[in-house]
């Protein structure tokens, strides 16, 4: 199923996308797409609902982030062999982990704000996945049992803040609006192989990223198991798994986003996003 959240910022309601592309309201069944609603048994109950009995949402409402109540937004760096090569980095012997502030999370088509002082705001289409039940010390063989579903994640990055201002990457990744996720949370039964999904990103209509999750170094199952050795993963936590080549930092000369630029991105079966980049005021 394709779950989503719709409505004004801070007042989103849970819904799903039916087979005709219409939004159906789920607020009569769950308060939001968060916490216990993401557990396997809860998702199974939602999947058993006769979709035709759910109210149709009229018009084209704003879509919010596809999951609520995210406690951790964990990102994996340099996780595509071809992206590592374009940045001049070597593939790490273990996953590079950094955190993105949950205050960066916005809807898939919301404006992205270029922070004050930024000269190197960059794009990164990424496969995201959402945890459905608490994971701690789980095996790789069992890891996907803890995944509620998959989504498009845009890991917007300010490269100067990330790499030229000392310390960790987090401050270049966590600016407000730097974490669009959605449009949908696609349950794992609809994703035959998360390690074989085409993914793309355009800047002002020009395709700059055109890759596949098959070049990921560390796959979804491995990442769930690996992360759970260091911290508990909780329902609603989002993990963004890295980007294929074609980021602005890797271009010669480097190319970065400016006010008025429009970025479109998508992943096979998971939907698309579209953001206009605006100045902070």
pLDDT at 25: 98
Is residue 127 domain-resident? yes
Is residue 137 domain-resident? yes
85: pLDDT strictly greater than 80: no
pTM of the model: 0.96
Asked if residue 89 and residue 44 are part of one domain, the reply reads no
- pLDDT tens digit string along 90-141? 788 999 999 999 999 999 999 999 999 999 999 999 999 999 999 999 999 9
pLDDT at 71: 98
Residues with Cβ within 8 Å of residue 174, at least 6 apart in sequence: 99, 100, 101, 103, 104
- pLDDT tens digit string along 200-231? 999 999 999 999 999 999 999 999 999 999 99
In this structure, are residues 69 and 130 in contact, taking their beta carbons and an 8 Å threshold? no
Asked if residue 110 and residue 150 are part of one domain, the reply reads yes
- pLDDT tens digit string along 160-204? 998 888 877 889 999 999 999 999 999 999 999 999 999 999 999
Asked if residue 94 and residue 42 are part of one domain, the reply reads no
Q: Which domain holds residue 10?
A: 2-53
Is residue 145 domain-resident? yes
Asked if residue 268 and residue 191 are part of one domain, the reply reads yes
Asked if residue 246 and residue 119 are part of one domain, the reply reads yes
Domain count within the chain: 2
């Amino acid at each position: 199923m394709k779950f989503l959240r719709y409505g004004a910022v801070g007042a989103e309601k849970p819904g799903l996308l039916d087979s005709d592309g219409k939004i159906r309201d789920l607020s009569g069944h769950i308060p939001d797409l968060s916490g216990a609603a993401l557990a396997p048994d809860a998702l199974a109950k939602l999947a058993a609902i006769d979709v035709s009995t759910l109210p149709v949402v009229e018009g084209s409402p704003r879509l919010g982030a596809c999951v609520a109540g995210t406690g951790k937004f964990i990102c994996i760096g340099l996780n595509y062999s071809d992206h590592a090569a374009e940045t001049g980095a070597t593939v790490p012997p273990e996953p590079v982990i950094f955190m993105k502030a949950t205050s960066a999370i916005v809807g898939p088509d919301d404006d992205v704000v270029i922070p004050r002082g930024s000269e190197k705001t960059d794009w990164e289409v990424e496969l995201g996945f959402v945890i459905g039940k608490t994971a701690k010390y789980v095996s790789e063989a069992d890891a996907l049992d803890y995944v509620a579903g998959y989504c498009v994640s845009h890991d917007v990055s300010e490269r100067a803040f990330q790499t030229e201002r000392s310390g960790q990457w987090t401050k270049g990744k966590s600016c407000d609006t730097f974490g669009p996720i959605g449009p949908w949370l696609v349950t794992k039964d609809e994703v035959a192989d998360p390690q074989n999904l085409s993914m793309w990103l355009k800047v002002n209509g020009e395709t700059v990223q055109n890759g596949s999750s098959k070049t990921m170094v560390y796959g979804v199952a491995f990442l769930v198991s690996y992360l759970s050795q260091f911290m508990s993963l909780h329902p609603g936590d989002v993990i963004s798994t890295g980007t294929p080549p074609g980021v602005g930092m890797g271009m010669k000369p480097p190319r970065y986003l400016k006010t008025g630029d429009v970025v479109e991105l998508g992943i096979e079966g998971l939907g698309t996003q579209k953001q206009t980049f605006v100045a902070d005021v």
